[in-house]
Amino acid sequence: MTLAQKTLAIIFVAGMAPVATAGESHHRALVPQGEIANDAQPPRSSVLLNGVWQAAYAPDGNAPADGWTRVRVPHRSREFENEPPSSAWYRQEFTVPAQWRMGSADVILDLSRVRHYARVYLVEPGQQPAVIGEHWGMRTPFRIKLTERVRPGGTYELLIYTHNCSGTYAHPNGRELSQNAARALDSLFWYTGAATVGIEGDVWLRLEPRLRIDDIYVVTRLRTQDAQRQWKKEKRIDVEVTVRNDTDSVANVRVEMAVVRHGDVELGFLPSNVSVPAHESVVVRASQRWEKAVVWGRPPYGKPVLYFLRTELHAGGVQRDGQFTRFGFREVWTEGDKLLLNGEPLFPWGDHSIPYVHERQWLTRKLPDLANNGVSIVEHHRYNAPPVLYDVADEMGMLVVSSNFCVGTGQVPAGLSPEEMKIVVDNHLEVVDAWIRRDRNHPSILFWDVTDTWAPEYCVPLLTRVKQLDASRIREVTYNDSPRELVDLVDTYRLFAGLEKIEASISKVRAGDLPVKPVRVGEAGIFNGAKWGYDEQPPMLPGWLDFIKGLPGRNVHGLQTFHLTDMDYRGFTLQVPGMLNEPLTPKITWPSQSGCDPRIDPFGEGTQQAWGKAAIYVNWCDPSLPASRPTATAKWWRKMYRDLTGRNLGPLSKTRVPEVIATAMDAAGKPMPDAMVFVSPMEGQAVVPFGVKADDAGRAWFVLPEEGKYRFECSGGDGTASTIAKCKRTKIDVTSGYSHIQFINLQQHR
User: Domains in the chain, please, with CATH?
Assistant: 3-28+210-327 (2.60.40.10), 45-208 (2.60.120.260), 349-585+629-645 (3.20.20.80), 655-747 (2.60.40.1120)
Reported as type and span, the H/E element at residue 462 is helix 456-469
67 phi, psi to nearest 5 deg:
85, 10
Give pLDDT, residue 165.
94
Task: Using alpha carbons, select from 591, 606, 619 the residue that is nearest to residue 735.
Answer: 619
84 phi, psi to nearest 5 deg:
-75, 160
Which stretches in the chain have pLDDT values below 70? 1-42, 407-410
Check: CB of residue 714 under 8 Å from CB of residue 677. yes
d(CA 692, CA 29): 20
Give pLDDT, residue 231.
86
Neighbours of 256 (CB within 10 A): 17
Give pLDDT, residue 30.
54
d(CA 304, CA 400): 14
Give pLDDT, residue 6.
41
Give the CA-trace dihedral at 387, 392, 394, 399, to 10 degrees.
-90
Please give the C-alpha separations between residue 74 and each of 87, 144, 691, in angstroms, as whole numbers: 16, 18, 17
Which amino acid makes up residue 603? F
Q: SS in 3 state form for 250-316? A: CEEEEEEEEEEECCEEEEEECCEEEEECCCEEEEEEEEEECCCCCEECCCCCCECCCEEEEEEEEEC
Q: Are strands 676-681 and 708-716 parallel, antiparallel or unpaired?
A: antiparallel
Please give the C-alpha separations between residue 505 and each of 348, 370, 381, in angstroms, as whole numbers: 19, 30, 22
Give pLDDT, residue 5.
41
Give pLDDT, residue 697.
97
Packing angle of the helix pair 456-469, 418-439 (nearest 10 deg): 30
d(CA 586, CA 447): 34
Give pLDDT, residue 42.
53
Q: What is the pTM of this model?
A: 0.94
d(CA 213, CA 203): 21
Give pLDDT, residue 11.
53
d(CA 207, CA 623): 40
Q: CA geometry: angle at 249 spanning 245 and 254, to 5°? A: 55
Question: What are 459-471's pLDDT values in tens digits?
Answer: 999 999 999 999 9
Helix %, strand %, coil % of the chain (to 5)? 15, 35, 50
Residue 595, CA atoms < 13 Å, CB-side half-sphere? 24
Residue 376, CA atoms < 13 Å, CB-side half-sphere? 27
| 26 CB-contact burial (10 Å; exposed 0-12 / middle 13-18 / buried 19+) | middle
Q: CA geometry: angle at 193 spanning 191 and 197, to 5°? A: 135
Q: Reduce the DSSP state of residue 390 to 3 states and report it.
A: helix
Q: Are strands 117-123 and 130-136 parallel, antiparallel or unpaired?
A: antiparallel
Q: What is the CA radius of gyration of the chain?
A: 26
Which letter does DSSP use for residue 738 in this model? Answer: S
